[in-house]
């Protein structure tokens, strides 16, 4: 770490109070508190929703993936506060992988929820749902079996095994990016995420414009307009939470072989922590679904 002396080989204290660590601690603390509150609030709302609805199934899976990630957040906070990793290195790999696993699986469920909403919009169907509750459970189980029994183990085996790492430090697997296979995987992921985001945003803007032209009077009083705003919230989370990490990743991959800067690694961690803010989506969805909030906004727009 930065500012370590040559006399004492122990863990340096200066980095514990580094401004970037303060940003990481603040970000993950907000994510943990807001994410847990959102997951609990949405869980109560899901009880009242149609269990066969595909949108409901996507939200349930969002609650699950957010909850799995939030379980690992306290371990991250402990390391950022103390500067020491007291657990095993394999567990460090799991906690580190969960940030990426959470990001891409969250993006998948966002896309599924948006596609379902667009099917309802373009085909003028009132509902897109499974025939039975068992079908919804089976579909979700298939996704999780594929993710947990195939994707995550492969990532665990391949991740963090090409370079030696200190057991008292964690989240320092950036050396893997020097390997050409990891570079290729990262570049493919960056291109796919950016392409998906641009496509989703373009379609949603087109739909909102179409809805606004069709509705008469104040658009804030129409349920259809509010439904499209909820879809736009998904896309805003993708843009704000996921794109900064991927854009910085392009620069980071190029520089990782040229300079060994601890500051650059901290910037990468900060960009990765921004992806965790997506855990706050459930709390925002619960608020946006409030009838009282819609009435207040409608009243303000009328004034």
Give pLDDT tens digits for 186-206: 899 999 999 999 999 999 998
Q: What is the CA radius of gyration of the chain?
A: 22
Q: What does each C-alpha distance from 89 to 1, 59, 164, 171 come to in angstroms?
A: 18, 33, 11, 10
pLDDT at 189: 92
Q: What is the rounded CA–CA span in Å between residue 68 and residue 79?
A: 19
Q: What is the rounded CA–CA span in Å between residue 223 and residue 82?
A: 49
Is the distance from CB of 59 to CB of 113 less than 8 angstroms?
Answer: yes
Tokens of 18: 């580094």
In this structure, what are the phi and psi dihedrals at residue 53, rounded to the nearest 5 degrees?
-70, 135
Quick one: which H or E segment has residue 153?
helix 152-158
Task: State the residue for tokens 């506060």.
Answer: 81
pLDDT at 297: 39
Those residues whose C-beta lies under 8 Å from the C-beta of residue 239, and which sit 6 or more positions away, are 197, 201
CA torsion, points 277, 283, 284, 287, in degrees to nearest 10?
A: -170
pLDDT band at 221 (very low <50, low <70, confident <90, very high): low
Domain locations along the chain = 14-166+176-287
pLDDT at 179: 75
The mean pLDDT of the chain is 79
pLDDT at 74: 95
For the full predicted model, state whether its pTM sits above 0.85.
Answer: no
pLDDT band at 11 (very low <50, low <70, confident <90, very high): very low
pLDDT at 146: 85
Is the distance from CB of 63 to CB of 42 less than 8 angstroms?
Answer: yes
14-166+176-287 CATH: 1.20.1070.10
- Model confidence over 150-180: pLDDT tens digits? 888 887 777 766 666 777 788 777 777 777 7
pLDDT at 2 over 70: no
Tokens of 300: 């303000």
């Amino acid at each position: 770490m930065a500012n370590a002396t040559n006399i004492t080989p122990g863990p340096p204290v200066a980095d514990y109070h580094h401004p970037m660590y303060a940003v990481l601690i603040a970000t993950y603390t907000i994510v943990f508190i807001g994410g847990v509150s959102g997951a609990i609030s949405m869980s109560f709302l899901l009880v009242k929703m149609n269990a066969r609805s595909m949108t409901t199934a996507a939200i349930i899976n969002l609650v699950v993936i957010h909850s799995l990630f939030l379980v690992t957040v306290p371990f991250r906070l402990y390391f950022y506060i103390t500067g020491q990793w007291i657990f095993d290195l394999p567990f460090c790999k799991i906690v580190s992988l969960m940030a990426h696993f959470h990001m891409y699986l969250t993006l998948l469920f966002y896309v599924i929820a948006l596609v379902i909403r667009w099917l309802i919009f373009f085909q003028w169907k009132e509902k897109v749902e499974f025939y039975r509750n068992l079908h919804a459970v089976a579909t979700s189980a298939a996704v999780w079996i594929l993710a947990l029994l195939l994707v995550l183990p492969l990532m665990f085996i391949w991740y963090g095994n090409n370079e030696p790492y200190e057991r008292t430090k964690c989240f320092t697997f950036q050396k893997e990016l020097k390997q050409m296979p990891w570079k290729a995987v990262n570049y493919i992921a960056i291109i796919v995420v950016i392409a998906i985001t641009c496509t989703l945003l373009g379609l949603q803007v087109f739909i909102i414009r179409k809805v606004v032209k069709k509705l008469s009077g104040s658009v804030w009083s129409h349920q259809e307009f509010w439904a499209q705003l909820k879809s736009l919230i998904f896309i805003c989370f993708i843009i704000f939470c996921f794109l900064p990490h991927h854009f910085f990743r392009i620069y980071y991959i190029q520089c990782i072989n040229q300079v060994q800067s601890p500051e650059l690694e901290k910037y990468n961690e900060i960009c990765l922590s921004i992806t965790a803010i997506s855990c706050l989506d459930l709390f925002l969805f619960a608020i946006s679904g409030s009838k009282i909030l819609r009435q207040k906004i409608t009243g303000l727009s009328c004034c």
